Structure 1
């Protein structure tokens, strides 16, 4: 079995699961989820249960030991004396050693690159189809974004603003980035885009996301229903994403064969962090 440690927000959870699923497919194995990190109140909580995933959350007895509960068994596991083999992500970009991993592996990391699962894109799209039915309001908006020249524009704030460490690591996309992206998009499509702004700070967006094109700030869904926003993003004709794994997946799941996706050239603000593999080659970087 491939066991993967699931943590972080929805986008991070999806990257972690996708990498594990790709490894499991190659090895002829199954995916098991270690959800124990969500015991902490500061975590986002498991959001994968809204998707058509085949991986299963594993009970404590089927997971490697926790250091705080059994230090000796934990040290034996980490030293390789007992399975599954512990593998931690090295660096931020694609690790070519991933192709050499085998079944009975425990994955820890973020695995933020399409390269980990590009050979099974159809499988990943199926697993990430949302099974939870949308609300009536979301159904109406789904129809609307599919009927116009829609572009999802994601403004990530939240902990990128409130948490000094997150701010120093990621930074914020400037409004100049969004304005330039919209101009590039309008130029390439030859049309006036209808902008749908998605943000974890909708009130801020309503005051500050001011563009020369028709704009609507989507504020239907709270944090517990963020999968609804991802579904809406994926149904827009084109996507302008933030330096965020959440809008990355909203754009990647967009099945419009002529879609234009624009992403920030600088994904991390911290100089020591760099992921050259974060975006597919077809996406435009600004």
Structure 2
């Protein structure tokens, strides 16, 4: 059994699933997705509460598991990952702890000899495509909604899919503003200007966690539309529409990264921040500005 600990936002969830799936497939073992994190943080005062969205995708039948009262062991256990003392927390199977401070580096040594273990758990963010490069086609097949798109979303999907000049724009604010990672309006205006110069008649679809800010900044732009969906599946709906655009302008968020990475168009144009960190942003034909 391979158990992947799923946590944080949707982009991170996709990386965690992808790494767990690749390991389980290589070792021919059952994949279990531990979603205890989401129940564990309910009722907290965090400014950006997350929810599990993997159950809304057409995944290859993983088993979901949640025991929220035990999640604290992972949070404290990762601090002890270089010592044997984590065993005192009660783990009965091997745990592979990522060095989360360097989660965008390929930490291949963590999985040396892993085939010796019948059961193990992986805890981390795994933001590197080398963990799952051999199963990318499988993942792209699975990373689609497992439900029928609602009327408004279906209409937008048809509109976006039929327009070779559709441009998805992901603006991440929220906790990025507090952490100083957000990109200001100038970055997006410059990127939009580049797309206007290189495309025939682009139409921009903004997905953001701060719609009020986006409306205030781009209210005079007739070719810019802010996607505003209120539904139980909002995150997946917006992600799916963003990924269906022919081209993308993204922040350094993994949500936007996955939308661009899953873009199937061979002539796509992707614009990213010049200081975006990690191998995941070193993709062919992605432009830094």
What residue number does 2:17 align with? 17
Which of 167, 171, 177 is equivalent to 1:151? 167
What residue number does 1:105 align with? 120
User: Are the equivalent residues in 1 in contact too, given 2:9–2:50 (CA < 8 A)?
Assistant: yes
In the TM superposition, what is the alpha-carbon distance from 1:180 to its structure 2 partner?
2.2
Matches within 5 A, 1:203-214: 203-209=212-218, 214=223
What residue number does 2:81 align with? none
In the TM superposition, what is the alpha-carbon distance from 1:220 to its structure 2 partner?
2.0
Which of 263, 275, 279 is equivalent to 2:278? 275
Structure-1 separation of matches of 2:182 and 2:99: 25
Structure-1 separation of matches of 2:125 and 2:50: 15
**What is the CA deviation profile of residues 214-263 of structure 1, one whole-angstrom value per residue up to 9, with x for unaligned ones?**
11111124575210011111111101111111111111222112211111
Residues 65 and 8 of structure 1: is their aligned pair in 2 closer, same or farther, counting only changes over 3 Å?
closer
Which of 35, 42, 52 is equivalent to 1:46? 52
User: Are the equivalent residues in 1 in contact too, given 2:166–2:246 (CA < 8 A)?
Assistant: yes
Matched, 1:174 2:197: no
User: Are the equivalent residues in 2 in contact too, given 1:78–1:86 (CA < 8 A)?
Assistant: no
What residue number does 2:64 align with? 57
**SS of corresponding position for 2:130:** helix
Quote the RMSD (CA, aligned, Å): 2.9
What residue number does 2:144 align with? 129
Calculate the TM-score normalised by the size of structure 1.
Answer: 0.82
In the TM superposition, what is the alpha-carbon distance from 1:282 to its structure 2 partner?
3.6
Structure-2 separation of matches of 1:153 and 1:144: 16
User: Are the equivalent residues in 1 in contact too, given 2:35–2:66 (CA < 8 A)?
Assistant: no
Residues 124 and 101 of structure 1: is their aligned pair in 2 closer, same or farther, counting only changes over 3 Å?
farther
Which of 106, 126, 132 is equivalent to 1:94? 106
Structure-2 separation of matches of 1:223 and 1:114: 30
What residue number does 2:95 align with? 85
User: Are the equivalent residues in 2 in contact too, given 1:193–1:213 (CA < 8 A)?
Assistant: no
Calculate the TM-score normalised by the size of structure 2.
Answer: 0.82
**SS of corresponding position for 1:132:** coil
In the TM superposition, what is the alpha-carbon distance from 1:198 to its structure 2 partner?
0.9
In the TM superposition, what is the alpha-carbon distance from 1:188 to its structure 2 partner?
4.0
Structure-2 separation of matches of 1:107 and 1:81: 12
Structure-1 separation of matches of 2:140 and 2:50: 23
**SS of corresponding position for 1:239:** strand
Q: Which runs of 4+ in 1 moved over 6 A?
A: 78-81
